[in-house]
Structure formats: structure tokens, C-alpha cells
Amino acid sequence: MRVFVTGSNDGLGRDAARRLVDAGHAVTGHARNQAKADGLRAELPGIVDVLVADLGSLRQVRELAEAANAGGGFDAVIHNAGVYLEPSRVATMDGHSHVLTVNALAPYVLTARMHRPQRLVYLTSGLHQRASADLDDIDWRRRPWNAMDAYAESKLYVAALAAAVARRWPDVRSNSVSPGWVPTKMGGPRATDDLAAGSLTQAWLAVSDDPGAAVSGRFLFHQQVRPAHPAASDPAFQDALLDALERLTGDRLG
């Protein structure tokens, strides 16, 4: 299968890409800049290509979608790229929160603009369970900044996006995955979950014919369906979120 993995030059994305390359799939990776792309090509010589874009820039996200489409599309897309805790609200060139942009706006825009694949996998976090479902200020323009809340909310939006896509596009398997707290650069050395298991579920959902992988609109952890935040499965919340994401990006999900 042809698989595209965002944020694949490091951590879980690199591990997922390696799993898929080793299994014989045609993998296209993604990195934030050319130096990181060159490093990934050297580390995974079996990778088909590595596309370059800074997901903190909506212009570059749109260019990434165009580059991905130029190759004819993919059977599966793993939206792996993400950022964690930022001590203050960092504004992107578009004026949006950097955490919101990379974690939620970028996968939304890519989903809206890329050719529709057969399978979509979105990386969320178990921390999405603690997020507020209030969509009044998702860009953190008025609220005092709280790094953990901003991250948790962005991951709730990702889980809800995956479920919304599954509902709107019944021909696509779309799911969200928590990799657990794993010792990547983002998770840190004190993380307690298994790094090797952290990339398994997303790669499995992207390509496997196992009955367990034939699900859609679900939240999974270690190949098992788990309960998501109630808002993530609520069609009214999903629709309100999609409206908010469209207002912020100008892109509409069909």
C-alpha cells in the first residue's frame, strides 16, 4: 500500500514509517525542513520520498497537500506530527496558536485538501480525556495560556476530527490513536509506556486486513478500541468543531 506519514523524521512517526517500509509498503515521509528530510532518507533508504513543510504555516500545509496530490494520492495517511507543551502562546505567521495549528489545523487542512485515501489515522493522546469541550476560544486569544490545557484540547479536536470524517465519509476508515506515554523526544525519558508498541497501532490501522483493524470512527490504544472523550463522539460537537476549523483556515471539509 501507498502510505503517507507526517512528522516521520523522528519518534513515533519514524518508527511507524520504518515498520511500514520493512513490511514492503511504499512509504512517503514528511519532515519540517530539508535537513531533516535528508536525514530521514539516509536513515530509511527504502522510503519512496520525503515531502518538506513546516506545519506551523498554513501556506506550507496547503503546499504539502498539493505535493502529496501530485503523486497521485495515497491508500492511507497517518497524521502523526504534533507538538507538546509550549510555555506561552506562540503565534504562527497566520496569527494562530502554534499548538493548535500543528496539532489540529494542519491535519484538518490536509484532510480537506488531499485526495481522499482509503484509511486515515490521527495521532491523539490519552490527555484528550481531560480537555474542555468549550469551543468558544479554541485559538487561545482571550484565555490566559495554559500549556497542558491547550495541548489536551488540540488532541480532543484531533479525536473529534477523526470521528467526524468517519461519519461524513463512510467509504473511509478514519480513527484516532493514543500511542501512550512513550519515551520519545516529546514524551521524555521518564515515560512509562513501551516505545516499540507506540507506533504499532497506527501502522496496523493503516495497512492491516485484520478484522480488528476494520473499524472506523473509533479511538484506539494498543490495538484496542477504548472510550474517547464524550464530545469526540458527539455529532453536534463534531459539526461545531468543523465549523470553527473552517473559520480559522478558510478550508471546508467536504
Q: What is the per-residue DSSP string for 144-176? A: PP-HHHHHHHHHHHHHHHHHHHHHH-TTSEEEE
Backbone dihedral region of 138: left (phi > 0), alpha (psi from -120 to 50 degrees) or beta? alpha
pLDDT of residue 254: 85
The CA dihedral of 207, 212, 218, 222, to the nearest 10 degrees, is -80
pLDDT of residue 196: 72
Query: Given the C-alpha cell 512509504, which residue does it identify?
Result: 27
Q: Which of 82, 225, 90 is nearest to 154 (CA)?
A: 82
Q: Where are the alpha helices (DSSP H) in 23-118?
A: 34-43, 58-70, 98-100, 106-113
Measured from the Cβ of residue 137, the count of other Cβ atoms closer than 10 Å reads 12
Of the residues 84, 155, 157, 185, only one is catalytic, namely 155
Tell me the residue length of the chain: 254
Of the residues 108, 122, 151, 157, only one is catalytic, namely 151
Residues 6+ apart with CB under 8 A from 45: none
pLDDT of residue 74: 98
pLDDT of residue 131: 98
pLDDT of residue 101: 98
Instruction: Give me the residue spans of the domains in the chain.
Output: 2-249
Which portions of the chain are predicted below pLDDT 70? 180-195
Q: What's the CA gap between 232 and 226, in Å, rounded? A: 12
pLDDT of residue 198: 80
185 is catalytic: no
151 is catalytic: yes
pLDDT of residue 81: 97
Task: State the amino acid at position 165 in one-letter form.
Answer: V
Contact between 172 and 116 under an 8 Å Cβ cutoff? The reply is yes
Taking CA atoms, 181 is separated from 15, 28, 126, 127, in Å, by 15, 26, 8, 10
What is the SS3 assignment for 31-54? ECCHHHHHHHHHHCCCCCEEEECC
Report the DSSP beta bridge partners of residue 52. 31
CA angle 138-141-143, nearest 5°? 80
pLDDT of residue 16: 97
pLDDT of residue 210: 97
Q: Which CATH class is domain 2-249?
A: alpha beta
